[in-house]
């Protein structure tokens, strides 16, 4: 099975300090629900940012959907962000002035897709997360759990190849965290995309089928 | 088109911020106008006047009694500015600008009764007398209260003097009368009090031709205002400084939050697929919205100030506040326009 994401011997330091990543190597395949665990400051977000093409590695190879990110142009990275990557943030980062529906379709519109297509896909996603009735509500009126469900819909609107989630349950209570992870798993399984989920909450690992541990800048796969 | 509509919704969402920004921009523009009409004009006239070579360059007014109504009109035209001409201690200088016509340059002793004065503000053009051709009339009052100056407008008056009549004025694109910096000025009619006259003499060591003109003296009022108004001015200035400091703090704080918020939002938009061009479009839309609103607010402010703030004390205090707001608004607008930069750079 071909890899969606392939990181090989990636090094990354900030300034003159201790390296955050020291030869990190791993890959993500379609259908992987991969958890990346490690203590705060261990470099989980750095890995996500490098994998998403937001930060460049000092050395090593990063390939996303077959594209070598180290030599990718701005337009190539833009296309990857639009078409191949879905990103879920810890703080949801929904655009507060827009409705649920407008938030979800925004990546599609930014990618230049017809609005009617985006709306059709949006309604499917909102129904899947049981938020269809709130499509026209302002996101500011939603609970945290609902906001994160909107965020996952936004991440999926362009049918990405991989979803990056950085502490997606960090702002949710236990119940909503469980609901969100169950939902994410179902969506990943249904769509066949891969997911790389950074977390320090070990209770969530039951939702994954792979676990990567980040320690001293290196990545080690744990038995699941 | 759809994405632009959506991005514009983000702009509209920030309508309160845009409204505030528009008010600040309009105020800044208004401040510039006020500033150019007062401070710049005064600086030019004062420095030019002090550079004058001597009485031979000056058409001296004849002695005579200035009609209280005329002074009232001139006084009503006054703007207020604070400058420090020729190294003087920072003091209040009040100046009135009116347009005059028909000066007889062959006659150095032009009297006020020979002037034709056209007031541009606030009323219809009025006529003082026929025969003059003065292009500018300036009132100077160094270190004196606006109340004392205003007393002339009330008709009760005090002793003021026609200091000199200067020439070579010009009209600027702003619509006020400026002065050619490199040439001696001869057709500016300067009014000032004895006290100001003494100050000028003390500082410059010379004075251009003086002819005293008495306008129904009211020394009691002048003395009272000299003692009272500076105290009030000082108190109000302290309050204003406190107010401005609070405003600066509040605006700086909100600016920080705004930038943080926009930087975060910009980063999110870029991460979900917005391009640089789409982000720039958004900020262009915002700038356009600010501009349109600012023009409207500017017109309203200008009309309101012109019709309501006739009192020069209020006007001068307003000017201080406006100058502070102008500085702040500049920072807000420039920072807003550049806010997307950090987010983009991060990518």
The stretch A29-51 carries a mean pLDDT of 90
- In angstroms, the CA A147 to CA A95 distance is 11
B343: nearest CA partner in chain A:
A54
Of B209 and A69, which is predicted with more confidence?
A: A69
Q: What whole-number distance in Å separates Cα of residue B183 and Cα of residue A28?
A: 80
Q: Residue A204's pLDDT is what? A: 87
Query: How close, in Å, is residue A93 to chain B by CA atoms?
Result: 7
Least confident of B59-63, B298-302, B328-332: B59-63
> DSSP character for B40?
I
Q: Which residue of B has its CA nearest to A79?
A: B273
Does B122 or B18 have the greater pLDDT score?
B18
Task: Give the pLDDT score at A18.
Answer: 76
- DSSP H/E element including A60: strand A59-64
A179, pLDDT greater than 60 = yes
Does residue B48 have a pLDDT over 80?
no
Contact with chain B for residue A17, Cβ under 8 A? no
Closest by CA to B142, choosing from B103, B180, B74, B194, is: B194
Q: Residue A170: give its domain's CATH number.
A: 3.40.50.300
* pLDDT reported for residue A191: 83
Q: Which residue has the higher pLDDT, B238 or B62?
A: B238
Contacts of A111 in chain B (CB under 8 A): 273
pLDDT for the residue numbered A95 = 83
Q: Is A149 in CB contact (< 8 Å) with chain B?
A: no
Does residue A41 lie in a domain region? yes
B325 vs B174: which has the higher pLDDT:
B325
**Closest Cβ opposite residue B2 in set A93, A115, A154:** A115
Tell me, letter by letter, the H, E, C secondary structure of A160-217: CCEEEEECCCCCCCHHHHHHHHHHHHHHHHHHCCEEEEEECCHHHHHHCCEEEEEECC
Angle at B51 (CA atoms; ends B50, B54), nearest 5 degrees: 90
Please report residues of B whose CB lies closer than 8 A to that of A115: 2
Per-residue pLDDT, averaged over B19-28, amounts to: 67
% of chain A exceeding 70 in pLDDT: 99
Angle ∠(B142,B241,B226) on CA atoms, nearest 5: 30
Contacts of B12 in chain A (CB under 8 A): 97
Of the pLDDT bands very low, low, confident and very high (cuts 50, 70, 90), residue A47 is very high
Contact list, B6 vs chain A (CB under 8 Å): 98, 102, 106, 109
Q: What is the mean pLDDT of residues A44-61?
A: 89
Question: What values do phi and psi take at A210, rounded to 5?
Answer: -145, 150
- Does A144 fall in a domain? yes
> Which among A36-40, B54-58, B177-181, B223-227 has the top mean pLDDT?
A36-40
Q: What percent of chain B has pLDDT over 70?
A: 5
Closest CA to B343 of B252, B255, B274, B253: B274
Q: Between residues B136 and B260, which one has the greater pLDDT?
A: B260
* Residue among B82, B77, B84, B101 nearest B93 (CA): B82
Q: State which residues form the domain around A152.
A: 30-57+79-222
List the structure tokens of B256.
């920080």
* d(CA A33, nearest CA chain B) in Å: 21
More confident residue, A145 or B281: A145
Under the banding of pLDDT at 50, 70 and 90, the label for residue A35 is: very high
Of B105, B123, B141, B140, nearest in space to B306 by CA: B123
Contact list in B for residue A140 (CB cut-off 8 A) is none
The mean of the pLDDT values for chain A is 88
Confidence bin at A120 (pLDDT 50/70/90) = very high
Q: How far apart, in whole angstroms, are the C-alpha atoms of residue B33 and residue B176?
A: 10
Residue A34 binned pLDDT confidence (cut-offs 50, 70, 90): very high
The answer to the question of residue A66 being in a domain is: no
DSSP letter string over B149-192? HHHHHHT---EEEEEEE---EEE-TTSSEEE-TTS---SEEEEE
Output the CA torsion B22→B78→B168→B166 (10° steps): -160
Q: Do A154 and B264 touch (CB under 8 A)?
A: no
Q: Using a CB–CB cutoff of 8 Å, tell me whether A164 touches chain B.
A: no
Min CA distance, B7 vs chain A (Å)? Answer: 9
- Taking the model in full, what pTM does it have? 0.54
* CA-CA-CA-CA torsion sign (B107, B111, B114, B115): positive
Residue of A110, A117, A153, A154 to mutate, interface with B, max B Cβ within 10 Å: A110
For residue A129, name the pLDDT band (cuts at 50, 70, 90): confident
**Would you say residue A201 lies in a domain?**
yes
Query: What's the pLDDT band for B226 if we cut at 50, 70, 90?
Result: very low
B264 CB neighbours in chain A (<8 A) are 93
Looking at residue A33, its pLDDT comes to 92
Say if the Cβ atoms of A102 and B6 lie within 8 Å: yes
Chain A residues in contact with B344 (beta carbon < 8 A)? none
Instruction: Provide the 3-class DSSP secondary structure of residue B76.
Output: helix
- CA B228/CA B233 separation, integer angstroms: 9
- Asked if residue B179 lies in contact with residue B44, where contact means CB atoms within 8 angstroms, the answer is yes
* pLDDT value of position B330: 58
Residue A58 has pLDDT above 80, yes or no: yes
Write the DSSP string, B2-37: HHHHHHHHHHHHTHHHHHHHHHHHHHHHHHHHHHII
pLDDT of residue A24: 92
Give per-residue pLDDT as tens, B84-105.
222 222 222 222 233 333 233 3
Please tell me the total count of domains within chain A: 1
Instruction: Burial-class residue A149 by CB neighbours within 10 Å (0-12, 13-18, 19+).
Output: buried
Q: State the complex-level ipTM.
A: 0.74
**Measured between CB atoms, does B10 come within 8 Å of chain A?**
yes
Residue A127 lies in a domain: yes
Does the beta-carbon distance from A98 to B269 stay under 8 Å?
A: no
* Cβ contacts of A82 on chain B, cutoff 8 Å: 273
Burial (CB count <10 Å: 0-12, 13-18, 19+), residue B273 = buried
Domain-located, residue A91: yes
Q: Is A23 domain-assigned?
A: no
Distance of alpha carbon A78 from alpha carbon B275, whole angstroms? 7
Q: Give the SS3 label for residue A28.
A: strand
The whole-chain average pLDDT of chain B stands at: 44
Instruction: Determine if the peptide bond prior to B122 is cis (ω within 30°).
Output: yes
Average pLDDT rounded to a whole number, residues B77-83:
25
Q: Which residue has the higher pLDDT, A175 or B131?
A: A175
Helices assigned H by DSSP within chain A: 44-51, 74-83, 100-110, 115-128, 144-156, 174-191
* Cβ pair A23, A9 in contact under 8 A: yes
Q: What is the pLDDT of residues A66-119, one digit of tens each?
A: 999 988 888 898 889 888 999 888 888 888 778 899 999 989 988 888 889 999
Q: Output the CA–CA distances (angstroms, integers) from residue B157 to A201, B140, B222, B313, B326, in the order listed.
A: 83, 15, 8, 17, 35
A11: in domain? no
Q: Which residues of B touch A69 (CB under 8 A)?
A: none
Q: What is the rounded average pLDDT of the residues B187-197?
A: 43
Count interface pairs A-B at CB distance under 8 A. 56
- Which pLDDT band, with edges at 50, 70 and 90, does A188 fall under? confident
Residue of B nearest to A119 (CA): B2
> Could you say which residues from 40 to 99 on chain A have a Cβ atom under 8 Å away from some Cβ of chain B?
52, 54, 74, 77-78, 81-82, 87, 89, 93, 95-98
Q: Do A97 and B274 touch (CB under 8 A)?
A: no
Q: How does residue A180 score in pLDDT terms, banded at 50, 70 and 90? A: confident
pLDDT of res. A122: 93
If one compares B121 and B166, the residue with the highest pLDDT of the two is B166
Is the pLDDT reported for residue A63 higher than 90?
yes
Residue B204 structure tokens: 């410059």
């Amino acid at each position: 099975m071909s890899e969606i994401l392939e990181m090989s011997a990636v090094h990354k330091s900030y300034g003159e300090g201790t390296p955050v990543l020291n030869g990190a190597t791993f890959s993500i395949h379609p259908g992987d629900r991969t958890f990346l665990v490690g203590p705060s400051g261990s470099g989980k977000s750095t890995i996500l940012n490098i994998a998403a093409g937001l930060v460049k590695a000092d050395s090593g190879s990063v390939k996303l959907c077959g594209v070598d990110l180290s030599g990718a142009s701005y337009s190539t990275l833009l296309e990857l962000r639009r078409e191949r990557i879905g990103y879920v943030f810890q703080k949801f980062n929904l655009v507060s002035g827009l409705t649920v529906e407008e938030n979800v379709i925004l990546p599609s519109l930014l990618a230049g897709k017809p609005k009617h297509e985006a709306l059709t896909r949006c309604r499917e996603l909102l129904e899947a997360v049981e938020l269809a009735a709130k499509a026209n509500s302002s996101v500011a009126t939603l609970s945290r759990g609902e906001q994160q469900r909107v965020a996952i819909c936004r991440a999926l609107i362009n049918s990405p190849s991989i979803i990056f989630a950085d502490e997606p349950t960090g702002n949710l209570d236990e119940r909503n965290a469980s609901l969100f992870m169950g939902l994410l798993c179902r969506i990943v399984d249904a769509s066949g995309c891969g997911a790389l989920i950074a977390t320090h909450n070990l209770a969530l690992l039951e939702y994954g089928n792979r676990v990567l541990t980040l320690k001293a800048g290196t990545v080690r796969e744990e038995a699941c | 088109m759809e994405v632009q509509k959506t991005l514009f919704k983000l702009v509209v969402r920030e309508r309160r911020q845009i409204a505030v920004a528009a008010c600040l921009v309009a105020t800044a523009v208004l401040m510039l106008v006020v500033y150019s009409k007062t401070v710049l004009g005064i600086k030019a006239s004062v420095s030019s006047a002090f550079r004058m070579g001597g009485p031979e360059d000056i058409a001296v007014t004849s002695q005579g009694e200035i009609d209280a109504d005329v002074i009232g009109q001139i006084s009503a035209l006054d703007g207020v500015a604070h400058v420090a001409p020729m190294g003087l201690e920072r003091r209040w200088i009040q100046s009135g600008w009116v347009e005059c016509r028909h000066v007889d340059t062959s006659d150095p002793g032009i009297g006020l009764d020979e002037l034709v004065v056209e007031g541009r503000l606030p009323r219809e053009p009025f006529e003082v007398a026929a025969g003059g051709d003065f292009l500018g009339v300036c009132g100077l009052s160094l270190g004196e209260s606006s109340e004392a100056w205003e007393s002339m407008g009330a008709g009760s008056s005090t002793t003021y003097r026609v200091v000199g009549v200067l020439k070579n004025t010009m009209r600027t694109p702003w619509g006020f009368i400026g002065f050619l910096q490199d040439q001696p000025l001869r057709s500016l009619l300067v009014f000032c009090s004895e006290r100001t006259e003494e100050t000028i003499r003390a500082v410059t060591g010379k004075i251009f031709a003086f002819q005293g003109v008495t306008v129904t003296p009211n020394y009691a009022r002048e003395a009272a205002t000299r003692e009272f108004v500076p105290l009030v001015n000082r108190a109000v200035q302290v309050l204003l400084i406190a107010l401005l400091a609070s405003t600066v703090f509040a605006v700086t704080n909100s600016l920080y939050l705004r930038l943080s918020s926009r930087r975060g939002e910009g980063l999110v938009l870029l991460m979900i697929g917005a391009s640089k061009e789409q982000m720039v479009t958004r900020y262009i839309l915002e700038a356009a919205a600010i501009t349109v609103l600012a023009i409207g607010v500017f017109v309203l402010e200008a009309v309101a100030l012109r019709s309501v703030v006739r009192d020069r004390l209020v006007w001068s205090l307003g000017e201080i506040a406006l100058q502070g707001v102008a500085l702040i608004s500049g920072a807000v607008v420039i920072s807003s326009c550049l806010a997307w930069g950090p987010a983009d750079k991060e990518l």
